[in-house]
Amino acid sequence: MYWLAALMSFAIVGVIATGIYLEMRPAATLQLPRWSKPAMGGQLLLFFGAQLGLLLLGINEALAEEAVEVMEVEMTTGMGLAILGAGIPTALSTIGAGIAVGPIGAASLAAITEKPETLGRTLIYLGLAEGIAIYGLVISILLLNRI
């Protein structure tokens, strides 16, 4: 199993190295060697083949685990409502963050095109709008710990 994970890691490193090579060369002088296209295709084929192998071999290892005794928790209506109530802050805060980020993102792009030095300020405003969703997630986690 380790050899398959190493093979996937090798494929990923090869694709990353190829991307860095292509990024560092100027576009005007970019003349790829003849072997580069088959090499990149081979890397991708190796990566997907290794993923398929991990999937097939990993299922056998997951199914071979011994059964662990699980404590059964009775699910009542109150427990279900409590779990739903814990999820509501995340849902509403992500909706609010989406509503906030839309106009702020559009306005920040317009401001950056006119004055590029305002990039830092606009990123702060976008971060504050994104923070709304994180606050809701934190509240949901705190509520789930209380259940």
Q: Give the pLDDT confidence of 35-82 residue by residue, as tens digits.
A: 777 777 777 777 777 777 777 776 666 555 566 677 776 778 888 888
Q: Is the pLDDT of residue 139 over 70?
A: yes
Report the 3 state secondary structure along the chain: CHHHHHHHHHHHHHHHHHHHHHHHCCCCCCCCCCCHHHHHHHHHHHHHHHHHHHHHHHHHHHHCCCCCCCCCCCCCHHHHHHHHHHHHHHHHHHHHHHHHHHHHHHHHHHHHHHCHHHHHHHHHHHHHHHHHHHHHHHHHHHHHHHC
Place of tokens 């306005």: 107
Q: Is the pLDDT of residue 17 over 90?
A: no
Which amino acid would we find at residue 106?
A
Which CATH architecture does the domain made up of 77-146 adopt?
Answer: Up-down Bundle (1.20)
Tell me how far apart the alpha carbons of residues 127 and 121 are, in angstroms, rounded to a whole number: 10
Domain locations along the chain: 2-63, 77-146
Q: Give the pLDDT confidence of 79-95 residue by residue, as tens digits.
A: 888 888 888 999 999 99
The pLDDT score that the predictor gives to residue 64 is 56
Average pLDDT of the residues of the chain:
80
Q: What percent of the chain has pLDDT over 90?
A: 27
Tell me how far apart the alpha carbons of residues 101 and 127 are, in angstroms, rounded to a whole number: 9
